Amino acid sequence: MYISLKSILIGILCFLFLPSLSAQLRQQYILDKDWEFRLDKADTAWEKVSIPHTWNAQDGTTPKYFRGVGEYRYLLYISPEMLKKRAFLRFEAVSQVAEVSVNGQNIGTHRGGFNAFCFEITDRLKKGSNLIEVKVSNSEEEYIAPLEGDFTVFGGIYRPVSLLLLPEVCITPLDFASSGIYIRQKTNSERSHLSIQTKVDSGGKKTNSKLIVRTSLFDAKDELVGRQSTQESADEENALSFINTFDVEDPILWDGRKSPHLYRVFVEIMKGNTVLDTLSQYTGLRYCSIDAQKGFLLNGKSYKIKGVNRHQDRIDKGWAISREDQLQDMEIIKEIGANGIRLAHYPHADFFYSLCDREGMLVWAEIPLVGKARSDAASEENIKLQLKELIRQKFNHPSIFCWSLFNELSRGDVKALVEELNDLAHAEDPDRYTVAAANIENRPENKVTDIMAYNTYPGWYWGEPSTMRSSLGHWNRLVGEKGIAVSEYGAGANVWHHWQSDRKVPKADGIFHPEEWQAIVHEENYQAIASSPFVWGSFVWNMFDFASASRMEGDMPGMNDKGLVTYDRKIKKDAFYYYQSLWSEAPVVHITSKRDIARNNSVTRIKVYSNCDHLVLKVNGKDCGAPVKNDNIYIWENVTLKKGENEINVSGDRNQVKQADRCKWIVL
């Protein structure tokens, strides 16, 4: 059968166009439609699927979700014209072992569920129909991280697959499936020094002495800033390496949410005056540091990270999400007013890092070394591979300020492994911090990385929410008072669970997870974080509810309900609006407990989150007077409701923009 292919231009952002020459020299075909799939079980028939795809979209929130083998096949039509190019098959991610064959011949195996991989298939293709087969396994493997974790490991080809048709001499796609271009910078407010390395695959021909790499730098208006060329190269990992350098005077800085200015680096491979290959990458010029007293500094100015954690899965889709899904996630994160994102607990889609570049989000990027590590050679080599792939594939994203090496390691002597990972990260990228997230004090590996962060849950797994303040001071002392971040904190909440007067701490592993308690935990936790100058950043756990198949709590089996937004992205919990009132410039007025419609008592407390002035609360048209204010929390005590239906209205204004909220409660 004939499979039509959808051609797109290569670019780090799908919405930015490259010069037309790129379309002539290299093409990228997204292989998304008309795949066939079956589980590797007896009597399982082939079914038509589209990529991205996971076989756990429906059972990923059940304890016995399928972890095993699935098979994919695709019939690829190749024209005679296409055979004139070199052909590469690139998978952005497969969970978590992929064995790939073309026309019955094995072309390679990749182990690891989150990074891209690329194989050359030039010699395997023929004119007409070509059969691509991919055998995929998400079975638990003792040597592939994550070895454990509080999240579902969805199986399948859950990110895009591409056919790349490139010139014989090309910017290599085979350097750990990276772009083949690496942009390093040394930047301050007056000058930025750029060193741009390009790795070229000459197709085995001895043409390196005649090759020229010309690199051009354009600003966000696509105006030429500078251009450099070099013929000098060095052999490096089966490729020729060329370096061009620039000094940019008075650079326009990538300045976080305020001004995320992106430059475009355009690389051309030339032989004489003939252009052989081209590729663009985007970068932002910025510098950051962490000071024990001043906290996080972006471009020399204080910039406390107000962050959230994100898992990538969604209801009825698992990890097989679309670009539209990712755009929606970003819009919700922007809406809350965050300026940083911890992409936990693994590498996320390249498109999402590109969104972070464009939107000015600082990113904590992470490998899936979660909970448990093994000291055998196979396990250590695999996690090193995953780290190297992450760094090379995401190297050019200005949003990334650190590489995270582990999360909550709790068993065994793994300091030596973490030291090796730390050395590897610095060798691959000398310009970014290494970081880790710990939850057990005094473990040896906690002192390895450049900076340190801690996962702590006062008010949920232990203690009262108010103990966050003393906990922060304790963790900071453990690192020699160098400053810390809070990489996780929060509490669970089911939006249909409520209480009206009780303040007893609910059981974290229990059925009842009232939305009101989650809000209290975040209020008291974040007040401690915001008032502690040595805390350079914090990341709410979690932005969205996510699948965790082993959990049975909160009346939502298979779900971690600590999100500020529900799994389907449809309901923002009260705690969402608490942060929005603190972080967002937009006017916010939100009545808490609006979903708790049935009221037991006629006398109640009303709590509102707002960043507005002149708040007025009216119940059944009657002004309730002045509230008690604590930061952006407004409380009216002892408000009297009437029997039956009551209408609650609150209004205020911010910068002369009026904002209001309303709800109805019924006294039984």
**H helices, E strands: number in the chain:** 8, 44
- Residues 6 or more apart whose CB falls under 8 angstroms from that of 452 comprise 435, 436, 438, 446, 479, 482, 484, 485
CB 325 within 8 A of CB 312: no
- Residues 6 or more apart whose CB falls under 8 angstroms from that of 314 comprise 321, 325, 567, 568, 569
Strands (E), 490-643: 535-540, 546-547, 559-560, 589-591, 598-599, 603-610, 613-619, 622-623, 628-630, 633-640
**What single-letter amino acid sits at 561?**
D
Q: Report the distance separating Cα 318 and Cα 297, nearest Å.
A: 36
Q: Report the distance separating Cα 222 and Cα 265, nearest Å.
A: 10
List 389, 408, 488, 515, catalytic entry:
408
CB 380 within 8 A of CB 342: no
Q: Report the distance separating Cα 312 and Cα 576, nearest Å.
A: 18
Question: 627 preceded by cis ω (within 30°)?
Answer: no
Report the phi/psi class of residue 265: left, alpha or beta, with left for phi > 0 and alpha for psi in -120 to 50. beta
Which secondary structure element, helix H or strand E, spans residue 394, and what is its range?
helix 377-394
CB 261 within 8 A of CB 254: yes
**φ, ψ of residue 135 in degrees (nearest 5):** -100, 120
Q: Which of 489, 577, 581 is nearest to 535 (CA)?
A: 489
Q: Report the distance separating Cα 565 and Cα 490, nearest Å.
A: 13
Q: Report the distance separating Cα 127 and Cα 87, nearest Å.
A: 13
Can you say how many angstroms the Cα of residue 558 is from the centroid of all Cα atoms in its chain?
Answer: 22
Question: 115 preceded by cis ω (within 30°)?
Answer: no
Which secondary structure element, helix H or strand E, spans residue 30, and what is its range?
strand 27-30
Q: Report the distance separating Cα 331 and Cα 543, nearest Å.
A: 12
Q: Which residues are 100's β-sheet partners?
A: 108, 134
**What single-letter amino acid sits at 531?**
S
**φ, ψ of residue 520 in degrees (nearest 5):** -60, -45
**What single-letter amino acid sits at 97?**
V
Q: Report the distance separating Cα 505 and Cα 508, nearest Å.
A: 9
CB 455 within 8 A of CB 487: yes
Q: Which of 333, 361, 217 is nearest to 282 (CA)?
A: 217
Q: Report the distance separating Cα 136 and Cα 69, nearest Å.
A: 6
- Does the annotation mark 408 as catalytic? yes
From the CB of residue 307, how many other CB atoms can be counted at a distance below 10 Å? 24
From the CB of residue 32, how many other CB atoms can be counted at a distance below 10 Å? 17
Which secondary structure element, helix H or strand E, spans residue 87, and what is its range?
strand 86-91
Q: Report the distance separating Cα 494 and Cα 513, nearest Å.
A: 6
What token pair was written down for 337?
A: 């007013």
Residues with a known catalytic role: 408
